[in-house]
């Protein structure tokens, strides 16, 4: 987790650039924050709390400089205190370091450095880095050599940026944690400006030109940019263009990013489908991915992405391909993939440590891997054999909304392009094409706010569904619990009476997803009757083709479509319910407590 930012060449706008960048990175962690600026000397300001608290500190104790680094933290080692906030410094105060990730061998490094007389002031793993750099400088290393030598001693995952001595440069390195460099046009006072960050939104308003730093590479940003490998040889880096605008990372008049992102789903779906489906021909083209015909599929993912993985298993199984979904953190116990098995990692960030580690495990077992991700240049994108981009655009709210929808759409494309029949494609493609408009109609007409008003102070919330609606039930519960802090559980509808029904009473609204009018719908209506008989209020999320509404206290309507597309629609209604419940309870919807957008530790 954590967000890091750095910039050079911004002159007197350096401080504002860092603070703005941290605000845009706050979704990565927000329990403490800090910055360092190099001016006449090295000024460090840091504090527990949010970026707003850092701004208050900067008003009280201003700092000046023209080169800087900053950090917003999500604690792993040590509680969120002023002392544990980054940047961390050495004994002399001449070195400042910010870090995202975990240094696994920090304890032995710290013991050695302490024995040599170095004094530590925090509980963090990061603090060993400035002291290692200090040791190098004492031994006569140049600032750059001291930085490189310090990095060479670290085990673990890191994106690190440092200012060393009075050297007018920012040094950076990465292993297993994201780091991207922005190349700006320069200002009146400098020919070139460079930015460094964990993620592009931190500096997107200044440039659309980026390079992605790879594991093992070092970057030096001063009046020029130099990227070198671990042998100090120059690396010729490709410059990429970012295709989305800075405004896309703003709230555009919505009260919360999450609400904005829920409303962006029609566009996100269009982007995902764009150029990939041909309705007339009934074909799906995913370039290099289309010619796969896997004998089996294993999905690895966490959280919301795991729910998308469960949905993906139904798609492939329906096509006769054995498919399993694993929490990536449990993948070690999976039967090894064999033959033409595909291992598909679903991760919107592309940086989830558990998912990356499962994908590496799969590769080491000889499997071909595919990343289904929203993040170009992410570790998953770069490490997997192939990538299927979901193209949802930046998602800032910590709770995944439009990226889950994007994942479901992308998985449909993947199944259609690889294993499903031409007949299926002809039936499904037009329904996918209609999805953006159908989602829009839900956004325009939903009564989710009224349902939230009625039930927001309930004891507990249950969600039930079958087949494609089972992952939606799990996702509906996860969304509600993470942003409202209320207890919520999702169940396969059939499992309810095997235990959880004991919890159902008049204070437990049950949301039941029932679409179509087939055997599956009829069975779920049977489950609705079971909870209704226990006096539980029932909210049917339905297209009205079954009897669900007859037994429900309230209805959230969705347009008619095929079962796999209906899951996208019912989920949108549940997103809105979760949002409105959380809003009525006054929760910090975009930044729920204890959570971070990108979970880069296992
Ligand atoms: C929930 C949520 C998380 C993520 C999970 C995996 O709203 O956002 O459960 O889905 O941390 O993240 P990615 O998809 O980035 O691998």
Taking only the tens place, the pLDDT of each residue in 276-316 is 998 888 889 998 888 888 999 999 999 999 999 999 999 99
Alpha-carbon distances of 601 from 31, 77, 153, 347, 598, rounded to whole Å: 16, 11, 20, 14, 9
Alpha-carbon distances of 536 from 143, 316, 531, 533, 585, rounded to whole Å: 67, 35, 6, 7, 22
Q: Cα(355) to centroid of ligand 1, in Å?
A: 10
How far is 236 from 256, CA to CA, in rounded Å?
Answer: 40
Which atom number of ligand 1 is nearest to the Cα of residue 398? 8
Q: Cα(598) to centroid of ligand 1, in Å?
A: 7
pTM: 0.79
Pocket test for ligand 1, best of 198, 326, 348 (most atoms within 8 A of CB): 348
Inter-residue contact 435 to 566 (CB < 8 Å): no
How far is 562 from 280, CA to CA, in rounded Å?
Answer: 19
**Alpha-carbon dihedral sign for residues 302, 307, 308, 313:** positive
Query: 90-139: per-residue pLDDT in tens?
Result: 999 999 999 998 898 999 999 999 999 999 999 999 999 999 999 999 99
| Residues of each domain in the chain carrying CATH 3.40.50.10490 | 249-440, 446-602
| Phi and psi angles of residue 212, each rounded to the nearest 5 degrees, phi first | -100, 125
* Mode of pairing for the β-strands spanning 283-284 and 277-278: antiparallel
* Residue 188: per-residue pLDDT: 61
Closest CA to 8 of 252, 226, 173: 226
How far is 158 from 308, CA to CA, in rounded Å?
Answer: 28
Which atom number of ligand 1 is nearest to the Cα of residue 407? 14
* Residue 187: per-residue pLDDT: 66
- Nearest protein CA to atom 5 of ligand 1, as residue: 303
Structure tokens at 368: 């071909």
Which of the residues are catalytic? 2, 597
Structure tokens at 56: 């208050």
Closest CA to 259 of 452, 431, 538: 452
- Nearest protein CA to atom 16 of ligand 1, as residue: 347
Helices H, strands E: what count in the chain?
16, 26
- Nearest protein CA to atom 13 of ligand 1, as residue: 347
Structural domain 446-602, CATH architecture: 3-Layer(aba) Sandwich (3.40)
* Residue 16: per-residue pLDDT: 96
- Nearest protein CA to atom 7 of ligand 1, as residue: 399
How far is 392 from 271, CA to CA, in rounded Å?
Answer: 7
How far is 96 from 130, CA to CA, in rounded Å?
Answer: 6
Pocket test for ligand 1, best of 198, 300, 354, 400 (most atoms within 8 A of CB): 400
Supply angle C-alpha 401, 405, 409, rounded to 5: 165
Which atom number of ligand 1 is nearest to the Cα of residue 401? 7
Q: Cα(89) to centroid of ligand 1, in Å?
A: 33
* Residue 281: per-residue pLDDT: 83
* Spatial CB neighbours of 307, under 8 Å, sequence gap ≥ 6: 404, 471, 472, 474, 475, 478
Inter-residue contact 180 to 211 (CB < 8 Å): yes
Omega before 87 within 30 of 0, i.e. cis: yes
Closest CA to 390 of 296, 278, 265: 265
Which atom number of ligand 1 is nearest to the Cα of residue 303? 9
Pocket test for ligand 1, best of 261, 597, 599 (most atoms within 8 A of CB): 599
Residue ranges in the chain whose pLDDT is less than 50: none
Pocket test for ligand 1, best of 257, 305, 383 (most atoms within 8 A of CB): 305
Inter-residue contact 78 to 104 (CB < 8 Å): no
Q: Cα(302) to centroid of ligand 1, in Å?
A: 6
Which atom number of ligand 1 is nearest to the Cα of residue 302? 6
3-state secondary structure of 119: coil
| Residues of each domain in the chain carrying CATH 3.60.20.10 | 3-242
* Residue 101: per-residue pLDDT: 85
Q: Cα(199) to centroid of ligand 1, in Å?
A: 16
Q: Cα(305) to centroid of ligand 1, in Å?
A: 6
* Residue 59: per-residue pLDDT: 97
Structural domain 249-440, CATH architecture: 3-Layer(aba) Sandwich (3.40)
Structure tokens at 573: 């209604």
Closest CA to 499 of 510, 507, 491: 491
Angle, in degrees to the nearest 10, between helices 563-584 and 303-318: 160
Query: What is the CB neighbour count within 10 angstroms for residue 236?
Result: 5
DSSP state at residue 462: E
Query: What is the CB neighbour count within 10 angstroms for residue 420?
Result: 21
* Residue 2: per-residue pLDDT: 84
Q: Cα(83) to centroid of ligand 1, in Å?
A: 29
- Nearest protein CA to atom 10 of ligand 1, as residue: 304
Ligand 1 neighbours by CB, cut-off 6 Å:
302-305, 347-349, 352, 355, 399-400, 478, 482, 599
Structural element, H or E, at residue 540? strand 538-542
Which atom number of ligand 1 is nearest to the Cα of residue 301? 16
- Nearest protein CA to atom 9 of ligand 1, as residue: 303
* Residue 33: per-residue pLDDT: 96
DSSP state at residue 247: G
* Residue 476: per-residue pLDDT: 98
* 3-state secondary structure labels for all residues of 77-100: CCCCCCCCCCCEECCCCCEEEEEE
Structure tokens at 193: 């400006």
Supply angle C-alpha 28, 208, 271, rounded to 5: 75
CATH number of 3-242: 1.20.1300.10, 3.40.1190.20, 3.40.50.10800, 3.60.20.10?
3.60.20.10
- Nearest protein CA to atom 15 of ligand 1, as residue: 349
Task: List % helix, strand, coil for the chain (3-state, nearest 5).
Answer: 40, 20, 40
Q: Cα(86) to centroid of ligand 1, in Å?
A: 25
Pocket test for ligand 1, best of 257, 326, 350, 352 (most atoms within 8 A of CB): 352
Q: Cα(232) to centroid of ligand 1, in Å?
A: 36
How far is 217 from 213, CA to CA, in rounded Å?
Answer: 6
Inter-residue contact 292 to 321 (CB < 8 Å): no
Q: Which residue is it, tokens 């004492």? A: 138
């Amino acid at each position: 987790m954590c967000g890091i930012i750095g910039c050079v060449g911004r002159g007197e706008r350096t401080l504002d650039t860092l603070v703005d960048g941290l605000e845009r990175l706050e979704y990565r962690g927000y329990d403490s924050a800090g910055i360092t600026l190099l001016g006449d000397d090295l000024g460090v300001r840091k504090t527990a709390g949010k970026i707003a608290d850092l701004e208050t500190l900067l008003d009280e104790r201003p700092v000046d400089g023209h080169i800087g680094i900053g950090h917003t933290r999500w604690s792993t080692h040590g509680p969120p205190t002023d002392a544990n906030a980054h940047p961390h410094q050495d004994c002399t105060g001449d070195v400042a370091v910010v870090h995202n990730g975990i240094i696994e061998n920090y304890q032995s490094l710290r013991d050695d450095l302490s024995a040599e007389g170095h004094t530590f002031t925090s509980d963090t793993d990061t603090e060993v880095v400035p002291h290692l750099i200090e040791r190098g400088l004492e031994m006569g290393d140049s600032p750059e050599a001291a930085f490189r030598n310090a990095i060479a001693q670290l085990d673990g995952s890191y994106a690190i940026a440092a200012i060393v001595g009075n050297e007018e440069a920012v040094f950076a390195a990465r292993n297993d944690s994201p780091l991207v460099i922005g190349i700006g046009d320069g200002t009146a006072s400098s020919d070139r400006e460079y930015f460094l960050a964990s993620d592009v939104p931190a500096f997107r308003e200044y440039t659309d030109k980026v390079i992605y730093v790879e594991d093992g590479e070092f970057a030096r940003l001063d009046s020029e940019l130099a990227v070198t490998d671990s042998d100090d040889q120059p690396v010729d880096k490709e410059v990429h263009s970012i295709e989305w605008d800075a405004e896309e990372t703003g709230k555009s008049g919505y009260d919360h990013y999450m609400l904005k992102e829920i409303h962006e789903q029609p566009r996100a779906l269009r982007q995902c489908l764009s150029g990939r489906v041909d309705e007339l021909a009934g074909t799906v083209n995913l370039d290099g991915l289309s010619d796969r015909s896997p004998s089996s599929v294993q999905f690895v993912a966490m959280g919301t992405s795991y729910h998308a993985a469960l949905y993906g298993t139904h798609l492939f199984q329906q096509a006769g391909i054995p498919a399993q979904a694993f929490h990536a953190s449990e993948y070690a116990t999976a039967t090894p993939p064999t033959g033409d098995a595909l291992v598909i990692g679903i991760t919107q960030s592309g940086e989830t440590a558990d998912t990356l580690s499962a994908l590496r495990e799969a590769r080491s077992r000889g499997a071909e891997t595919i990343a289904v991700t929203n993040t170009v240049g992410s570790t998953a994108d770069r490490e997997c054999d192939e990538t299927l981009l979901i193209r949802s655009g930046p998602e800032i709210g910590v709770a995944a909304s439009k990226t889950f929808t994007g994942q479901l759409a992308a998985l449909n494309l993947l199944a259609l392009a690889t294993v499903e029949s031409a007949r299926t494609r002809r039936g499904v493609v037009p329904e996918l094409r209609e999805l953006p408009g159908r989602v829009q109609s839900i956004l325009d007409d939903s009564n989710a706010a009224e349902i939230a008003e009625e039930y927001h102070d309930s004891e507990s919330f249950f969600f039930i569904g079958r087949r494609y609606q089972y992952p939606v039930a799990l996702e509906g519960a996860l969304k509600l619990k993470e942003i409202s802090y209320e207890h919520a559980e999702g169940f396969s509808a059939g499992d309810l009476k095997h235990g959880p029904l004991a919890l159902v009473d008049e204070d437990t609204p049950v949301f039941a997803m029932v679409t179509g009018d087939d055997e599956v719908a009829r069975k779920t209506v049977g489950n609705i009757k079971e909870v209704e008989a226990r006096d539980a209020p029932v909210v049917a999320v339905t297209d009205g083709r079954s009897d669900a509404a007859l037994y429900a206290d309230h209805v959230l309507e969705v347009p008619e479509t095929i079962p796999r597309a209906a899951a996208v629609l019912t989920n949108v209604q549940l997103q809105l319910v979760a949002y409105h419940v959380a809003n009525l309870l006054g929760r910090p919807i975009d930044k729920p407590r204890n959570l971070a957008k990108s979970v880069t530790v296992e």
